Amino acid sequence: MKHKSADIVDIGKNRDGNMTEGSKSHYEVIVVGAGVAGIYQIKRLVDLGIDATVLDSAADLGGTWYWNRYPGCRFDSESYTYGYSFSRDLLDEWHWKERFSGQPENLRYLNHVADKFNLRRHMQFNCKLEAMHFDEARDLWRVKVGDGRELTCRFVVLAVGLLSVPTMPRLEGIDSFKGRSFHTYYWPHEPVDMAGKKVAVIGTGATGIQLIGEIADKVGELTVFQRRPNWSAPLNNSPISDEEMADIRARYDEIFAACARTPGGFLHEPDRRGFYDVSREERLRLWDRLYDEPGFGIWLANFREIFMNEAANAELSEYIAERICRRVRDLRVAEKLIPRDHGFGVQRLPLETDYFEAYNRDNVHLVDIGETPLLRVTEKGLRTTERDYEFDIIVYATGFDAITGAYDRIDIRGLGGETLAAKWKDAPSTFLGMLVHGFPNLLMPTGPQSASASTNFPRGIENGVNWCMGLLQYIWDRGYTRAEATREAEQRWTAHVVKMYEIMLMRKAKSWFTGYNSNVAGHEEGTVRYFLYNGGTPKFVGIINDVAANGYEGIVFGSNARPEPEALRTRISA
Ligand code: NA7
């Protein structure tokens, strides 16, 4: 497809179709992030012939699947619910090899999508977005890229990821360690030889749990430094044969329809019977089945009360604790792996493969740093209040400055020079998780308080991108140059998001769902941030569709800088 120039203001000098992406200075839309969301976003834009580009700080596309290369990294979503749904052709030709596909295949998939739809030529890599300031007189964003370039665009779409800013412990001596060390997010691209090595893993979130289960039998000694245990349940992964894949392909419509129906955007539908309407025996039968089934069933196909009712949650937690005890030989170790400070499923549930069995191995050791905290990193390893440990490799599986971290690190200034980081200092506030009052022409298809983070991510991404595209088309059709959420609409949405937390036990959890991160100033224990929309996919989609149907109620439009009618026609008819 010809990449049309849609420069609509006098600063657009690069009208030469032969110019490379990197030499242009103005775009109608700049998309930031070439991950799952950015890839779909640019696909939708180029399909319309919009002059758009993607900037990404990485050396290549893939976002999460580009960066996270640690062993064991994989979906907890059924692979065939994770892929894009927009192209029948793509669905028909891609064979997911495993029910829960691993990082290498996921990255191959995203590359395949980009190549198939010729999207790579609209992407610029090693391009970190440093700043974006809104030019109020011209309704433009002035964008500063890490390579020194200054670009302008009418709209910025931030597809920067929810978990894209890894955080390290605030420990002294990290740089003094003489062995190899890395955060899981920055796992090296070349294979890491761990055979016979003494390896430390700090952190037992979803990442640590995947990693530990995978490497326990491949390293010399593995020492896990656990501050708080996490609940987790078996992934029960398996390969997908040609026959199964053919069957999945024939059922794709049904599969995506089921995802659209469920709160989490997965295939797992909640058990809508009342927790106390069925006998305890019946509950146990359900849990026995769900625990041994693949995927998030034990979390999402459970009774809805487990998310809201302390007693119901406690009964399920006891059941899971008992299943853990059956898998870990040393009951003292099992006891340390069972969370006692929060109930099952109120934090993000990690799914595991052989995680608990890893602790039955002689070469795997668990250090409870809740009891004997880490003091510092030394030249040779780690020091706790109890003793010194020596390692060849230290892996930090210590999580992310989640949800708002990537936004906070960009100098984003809206009307009156207000910075987004200052506005969101205590907590984000948005309209539908996709727009922010005071920051016109900024779109976040998967922003804080949208439903994407609390759902099967690509399903949320498609909903978010589709809605943003509808809004852009509305703007272009009417010749507007500015769109901004009103303060009232933002306040209403944020209050609704907060209300949705009030009924959930998760509001009390020390997890990235509530903005907790001991390694980020201001995010320590005690500050709850309302990051996610917990009303579920169907409700979220209903609300955003209603907003669109009502002429984008809650958004004000303006046309300070009128586009040339011809340029506008070109874009819309493309
Ligand atoms: P998480 O879920 O935030 O887990 C981070 C883990 O690291 C967790 O066990 C933390 O313990 C531990 N941690 C963090 N900082 C420290 C310090 N300073 N010292 C010791 N231990 C620490 O991140 P993940 O990467 O595992 O998962 C993130 C998401 O990625 C996941 O939910 C998936 O959606 C994909 P804590 O519990 O805070 O005591």
For residue 510, pLDDT over 80 is answered with yes
Distance CA 232, CA 345 (A): 8
Mean pLDDT of 53-80: 98
User: How does DSSP classify residue 102?
Assistant: B
How many angstroms does the Cα of residue 171 sit away from the middle of ligand 1?
Answer: 15
Percent of the chain with pLDDT over 90: 91
Global pTM reads 0.94
pLDDT tens digits, 196-219: 999 999 999 999 999 999 999 999
How many angstroms does the Cα of residue 4 sit away from the middle of ligand 1?
Answer: 45
Q: What is the per-residue pLDDT for 526?
A: 84
Report which protein residue has its CA nearest ligand 1's atom 18.
Answer: 169
Determine how many CB atoms are found less than 10 A away from the CB of residue 354. 17
pLDDT tens digits, 473-506: 999 999 999 999 999 999 999 999 999 999 899 9
For residue 315, what are the contacts with CB-CB under 8 A and spacing of at least 6?
280, 283
Torsion angle (degrees, nearest 10) of CA 320, 324, 325, 327: 140
Mutational pocket test of ligand 1: of 209, 398, 510, 516, the residue with most ligand atoms within 8 Å of the beta carbon: 398
Q: What is the per-residue pLDDT for 566?
A: 43
How many angstroms does the Cα of residue 516 sit away from the middle of ligand 1?
Answer: 10
Mutational pocket test of ligand 1: of 518, 523, 525, 532, the residue with most ligand atoms within 8 Å of the beta carbon: 518
How many angstroms does the Cα of residue 257 sit away from the middle of ligand 1?
Answer: 33
How many angstroms does the Cα of residue 204 sit away from the middle of ligand 1?
Answer: 6
Q: What is the mean pLDDT of the chain?
A: 93
Q: What is the per-residue pLDDT for 560?
A: 77
Percent of the chain with pLDDT over 70: 94
For residue 250, what are the contacts with CB-CB under 8 A and spacing of at least 6?
none
Segment among 8-22, 196-210, 321-335 with least mean pLDDT? 8-22
Mean pLDDT of 226-230: 98
- Amino acid residing at 225: F
pLDDT tens digits, 419-459: 999 999 999 999 999 999 999 999 999 999 999 878 999 99
pLDDT tens digits, 264-309: 999 999 999 999 999 999 999 999 999 999 999 999 999 999 999 9
Mean pLDDT of 31-58: 98
pLDDT tens digits, 307-316: 999 999 999 9
Q: In sequence order, what are the beta bridge partners of 459? A: none
3-state secondary structure 228-295: CCCCCEECCCCECCHHHHHHHHHCHHHHHHHHHHCCCCCCCCCECCCHHHCCHHHHHHHHHHHHHCCC
The helices-and-strands tally (H runs, E runs) of the chain is 19, 20
